[in-house]
Homo-oligomer: A and B are copies of this chain.
């Protein structure tokens, strides 16, 4: 007997958001894409797992670069958008609640990338331990998330509901800098590089928008 989780409120919100995710102005989305594309290209040449691919804004960029690409997301409507992207015919897409065991074999991936996802997941440790499990030794985990400072300022993922015109917040959890670092250390990752990311031209005195972290599996 299998028990099915009730529809998740985050996935449900992303189902609605999928209609306008790519068209509404979204500086966080744009900066995340720029940060990913600024990484050392060798990071994405192997067997890549993208968790929380959304409408595939990063999937489309990763697809021609990776030897293989598996993209997971909890929102069916987001996945439908992603599947329509050009050049993703060879990408495997799976509907997956990231809080449950991922459909990925142990030590089968060179890189896991996780972009603008973890603010919606309360328990970070499971995600880091799954990333550890599916990565080959020496494999990379790249995370780019809304900066904890921005979260403390009350910022979180939101969109304008295309039907009602109302601002819709997507359920988020405040994560501290230390939570990311400790979850990774506990799972057996060694930090390689960190970056406090601001919009192009923003001064250093501005609160960073994103925190990007790159680890290697020990």
Q: Which residues of A contact B (CB under 8 A)?
A: 148-149, 152, 174, 176-178, 181-182, 185, 190-196, 204-208, 211
Known: A148-B149, A182-B193, A185-B193. 9 other contacts (CB 8 A): A149-B152, A149-B207, A176-B204, A177-B177, A178-B211, A181-B191, A182-B194, A185-B191, A190-B191
Option from B174, B176, B190, B195 in Cβ contact (under 8 Å) with A178: B195
A194 touches B174 (CB 8 A): no
Q: Which residues of B contact A176 (CB under 8 A)?
A: 196, 204, 208
B196 in contact with A192 (CB, 8 Å): no
With contact pairs A190-B190, A191-B191 given, residues A178 and B196 touching in the complex (Cβ less than 8 Å): yes
Q: Which residue of B lies closest to A207 (CB)?
A: B152
Q: Which residues of B contact A211 (CB under 8 A)?
A: 177-178
Known: A185-B193, A191-B185, A194-B182. A205 touches B149 (CB 8 A): no
CB distance from A144 to the nearest CB of B (A): 12
Q: Which 7 A/B pairs are nearest by Cβ-Cβ distance?
A: A178-B194, A181-B194, A176-B196, A178-B196, A149-B149, A178-B195, A177-B177
